[in-house]
Amino acid sequence: MSFIRRCPIFASLPSAVLFVGLFSADACKAESVRQIMKGAAPVSRSPLRFILLAAALPAAALAFAGCGRSGPAVASSSGAGAVKLQVVAAENFWGSIAAQLAGSRASVRSIIVNPGADPHTYQPSAGDARAMVGANVALVNGLGYDSWASQLLQASPQPGRIVIDAGHALGLPNGSNPHRWYYPQDVRTIVSRITASYQKLDPADAAYFAAQKQSFETRALAR
């Protein structure tokens, strides 16, 4: 374990998850893990620890292949072949904004896109956990609205990943109205945070992101 811990990717994983990931045949039922990875097991019956394990196993395998790199890949330039930023939002109302601000420089995924889904009781899948693990930027609403998303992020820390929690960014205490996307000034604050995160991770495209922000504020927020 000491040798493995020297690898930056493994060092970012919780000890319990790392141990189970490497010795899953002895520590848990391997078939259960395989079913979770395939998406065959009902998520509602899969404890969060097994969902996190399913997300951690691919990262562990990559660590053996290339132990010199830690955290998700980050875009380094806007030239051809550049790696796009990977952005994951817990809900599509923030994901839509993140996509408009990113333009062509990032790939944005929203986990909850069904308007009928209740973020308070949403059960994340292994795919959701893997998306969070691989994100350069993760957006959550906070304020008790999507606790599952915060739990996934806390259980899978990644070097260099930027987490934007709307409630924390706005300085709101627990118990505040979580529906902050209805408040234009709050949206402006989150827009600035998202743009700043893009510019930090991809400084070569800082001017592009500034222009995207200005365009969004003059079009979408001016309505």
Instruction: Concatenate the DSSP letters of all residues of 119-152 into one string.
Output: TTT----HHHHHHHHT-SEEEE--TTS-HHHHHH
Which one has a higher pLDDT value, 45 or 97?
97
Residues 94 and 119: beta-carbon distance below 8 Å: no
Mean of the per-residue pLDDT values for the chain?
Answer: 76
Identify the residue whose tokens are 């189970």. Answer: 20
Q: In this structure, are 95 and 194 located in the same domain? A: yes
- Identify the pLDDT of residue 32: 39
Residue 13, SS3 per DSSP: coil
Kindly state the tokens that stand for 11: 């060092």
Q: In this structure, are 9 and 113 located in the same domain? A: no
Listed in sequence order, the DSSP H helices in the chain are 2-5, 8-11, 15-22, 24-27, 30-38, 48-65, 92-102, 126-133, 147-155, 166-169, 184-201, 206-219
pTM for this prediction: 0.69
Question: 76 in a domain, yes or no?
Answer: no
Q: In this structure, are 207 and 114 located in the same domain? A: yes
Question: 120 in a domain, yes or no?
Answer: yes
Which one has a higher pLDDT value, 81 or 133?
133
Residues 89 and 111: beta-carbon distance below 8 Å: yes
Which one has a higher pLDDT value, 42 or 142?
142
Q: In this structure, are 112 and 199 located in the same domain? A: yes
The model's pLDDT over 147-197, given as tens digits with 9 standing for 90+, comes to 999 999 999 899 999 999 999 999 999 899 999 999 999 999 999 999 999
- Identify the pLDDT of residue 189: 98
Which one has a higher pLDDT value, 209 or 11?
209
Q: In this structure, are 27 and 131 located in the same domain? A: no
The alpha-carbon radius of gyration of the chain (Å, integer) is 18
Which one has a higher pLDDT value, 99 or 55?
99
- Identify the pLDDT of residue 11: 46
Q: In this structure, are 27 and 121 located in the same domain? A: no
> Which domain CATH number covers 97?
3.40.50.1980
**What does the alpha-carbon distance between residue 81 and residue 3 come to, in Å, rounded to a whole number?**
34
Question: 75 in a domain, yes or no?
Answer: no
Q: In this structure, are 159 and 199 located in the same domain? A: yes
Residue 192, SS3 per DSSP: helix
Q: In this structure, are 33 and 106 located in the same domain? A: no
Question: 100 in a domain, yes or no?
Answer: yes
Q: In this structure, are 98 and 46 located in the same domain? A: no
pLDDT tier at 71, thresholds 50, 70, 90: low
- Identify the pLDDT of residue 82: 63
Q: In this structure, are 27 and 97 located in the same domain? A: no
The model's pLDDT over 104-145, given as tens digits with 9 standing for 90+, comes to 999 999 999 998 899 999 999 999 999 999 999 999 999 999
The number of distinct structural domains making up the chain is 2
Question: 80 in a domain, yes or no?
Answer: no
Amino acid at the residue 94? W
Residues 189 and 217: beta-carbon distance below 8 Å: no
Question: 114 in a domain, yes or no?
Answer: yes
In percent, the amount of the chain with pLDDT more than 70 equals: 62
Domain interval for residue 61: 2-65
- Identify the pLDDT of residue 196: 98
CA max distance for the chain: 59
Q: In this structure, are 57 and 106 located in the same domain? A: no
| Residue 143 CB contacts under 8 Å (≥ 6 apart), including other chains | 166, 167, 172, 174, 175, 176, 177, 178, 180
Q: Which of 65, 96, 117 is the last residue of a domain?
A: 65
Q: In this structure, are 93 and 187 located in the same domain? A: yes
